[in-house]
Amino acid sequence: MAKCKRFLMSYLNEVRSTEVANGYKEDIDTALLKLYAEADHDSLLDLLVTENSCLLTDSAAWLEKHKKYFALGLLYHYNNQDAAAVQLWVNIVNGDIHDSTRSDLYEYVIDFLTYSSDQELVWKYADWALQKSEEVGVQVFTKRHLEEEQNSFNPDDILTCLKKYPDALVKYLEHLVMDRKLQREEYHTHLAVLYLDKVLQQRPSADSMGTEVTEAQAKLRHLLQKSDVYRVRFLMDEVERKLISALRQKSVPDMSESLL
């Protein structure tokens, strides 16, 4: 029986792109999908990420029956049902359903959202992505094509979303200031203040400033040297205020001479 099914898979795969398939494309591709899913064949994914004529309802039921949930998401995506696809993949990542097809499914979802032009879909899963990993999740905003980013997502809306995610907030501000080179005073000043906070939050040992402090200081120094749009007076006031507060709490040594 298994040998017959392998022969049938081979035959259907050969004829699906020939004239023999004319008028039967849906039947052939749906049959192939079922055979691949049942046999746990690698070609199942190849079929779904290329042009195909698989019948949605019939194929979806079969994939669900055989617990091929990642493949089912691909089927939904091919049929312009991205919301259903992402929800399914998120359920896999969360452990609500099991499918070990991709060990990097979280990163796959991030890439998918990054290249999605559906703003509503991206916003729906932004918190989920960031809660899993701020460093990776923020890429749904920082790795987008520049033209789409400029025409769709408002940076101020993104910054509001990222207030709960300090590491992602720094990454996104760096993206605006360093990558996109936006000359907006509030972005440059905000980033400088966050760098300053990072410097003051470190607890260096008595005989070493530590590599993290050195990196934080270097970033702050670089920004202050390269940018000419941040609010100098505001930043100096922040330095004074934060140093006084930190010294009173004895949370850091006197670093006023070595901040920059």
Least confident of 52-56, 75-79, 108-112, 205-209: 205-209
Residue 7 pLDDT > 60: yes
Q: Tell me: the pLDDT tens digits for 157-207?
A: 999 999 999 999 999 999 999 999 999 999 999 999 999 888 887 755 545
Burial class (CB in 10 A: 0-12, 13-18, 19+), 23: exposed
| Domain coordinates in residue numbering, the chain | 183-260
Q: Tell me: the pLDDT tens digits for 28-71?
A: 999 999 999 999 999 999 999 999 999 999 999 999 999 999 99
Confidence (pTM): 0.86
What does the DSSP 8-state code read for residue 50? S
The more confident residue out of 87 and 258 is 87
d(CA 117, CA 121): 9
Residue 246 pLDDT > 70: no
pLDDT at site 206: 46
- Reading the block at residue 87, the tokens are 């929800």
Question: What share of the chain in percent tops pLDDT 70?
Answer: 88
Diameter over CA atoms, the chain: 83
Q: How far is CA 50 from the centre of its chain?
A: 24
Q: Tell me: the pLDDT tens digits for 200-242?
A: 877 555 455 555 567 888 999 999 999 998 898 888 888 778 7
Per-residue H/E/C for 166-200: HHHHHHHHHHHHHHCCCCCHHHHHHHHHHHHHHHH
pLDDT at site 249: 66
The 3-state DSSP class for residue 223 equals helix
Residues 6+ apart with CB under 8 A from 199: 213, 216, 217, 220, 255, 259
